[in-house]
Amino acid sequence: MPAFRIIPCLDVKDGRVVKGINFVGLRDMGDAVALARRYRDEGADELAFLDITATVEGRGALRCLVERVAEVLDIPFTVGGGVSGEEDGAALLAAGADKVTVNSAAVGNPGLVERLARRFGSQCVVVAVDARRDGQGYRVVTHGGRRPTELDAAAWCAEAVDRGAGEILLTSMDRDGTGQGFELELLAAVRARVDAPLIASGGGETPDHFAAAAAVGADAGLAATIFHEGRVAVGDLKAALAAAGVAVRLPGR
C-alpha cells in the first residue's frame, strides 16, 4: 500500500505566502523560499505552490519565484496558477516544477487536460478542483472561488481523469482554513468515481483529520495554515499518523 503523503501548500499572492478562511481574509504567512526549505527539512513528501490570483489577473504564475523555490527543493514540486495553455505548463516545468496544476482553465476548456497530458505525460498533470456543498451534493467553483458552476464535483473529477489527469487535488471551499477537518463525504464521493491519486485539501488540522481522510481513500493530505503558523511540524504529524496505523514515510527513513 503506498504511503500517505503530507503536502504543505504555499498559496502565493504578490510574491508572498498568504492564507485565509474560505479563500478570503488573506493574511501574510511569510517568505515562500524560507517556508519551502523548512518543510523540506521537516520531511514533507511534496510541496505545492499555487499563485492564487494569477487566473483572476489573467497572467501566468510568478516564474521567477517558482525558480527560487525549486532551487531549495529535492522533493516533488507542484505548481499552479494561470495555466491556460500548453506553453504555460512548459514554462513552469522549465522553471523547476515536477507537476503543473490546472483548475479554472480546465473547466472552461476540458481539452486542455488532454493536451497537457499528451505533451508532458499524465504524471505531470494535476487537476485542482474547488468544490462547495450545494444541497445534497457538491458543485465546482472556479476563479479562486469567485465563480460557481453547475458541474458536479465528482463527475468533473472523473472526466478530468478520463482526459488524462494523473492526480486530483480536491479542495472543500466550505472547510478551507477552518480547521474543522476534511470534507469526508466529498472525498468519498470522488474516490468512488476515480482511481487516480486523490489529494485531500481544506480543513485538515489534527492527525485525526488526516487519518480520517486516508480512511476514506485519500492518498495525500494538503494543508497550509497549521504548518505556516507552527501549530504542528510535518515530522510530528507523520509520527502521529504512524502511531495511528497510517502508512507514512517517516523523516530519515
Phi, psi of 53 (to 5 degrees): -115, 5
For the chain, how big is the Rg over CA atoms in Å?
16
Paired sense of beta strands 147-152 and 47-51, if any: unpaired
Paired sense of beta strands 77-80 and 47-51, if any: parallel
Say which residues have a Cβ less than 8 Å from residue 41's Cβ, sequence separation at least 6. Answer: none
CA 168 to chain centre: 8
Strand, helix or coil at 60? coil
Buried b (16+ CB within 10 A) or exposed e, 40-55: bebbbbbbbbbbbbbb
CA 30 to chain centre: 19
Which residues are known to be catalytic? 11, 130
Question: For residue 121, what is its C-alpha cell?
Answer: 505525460
CA distance 133 to 213: 18
CB 237 within 8 A of CB 6: yes
Strand, helix or coil at 6? strand
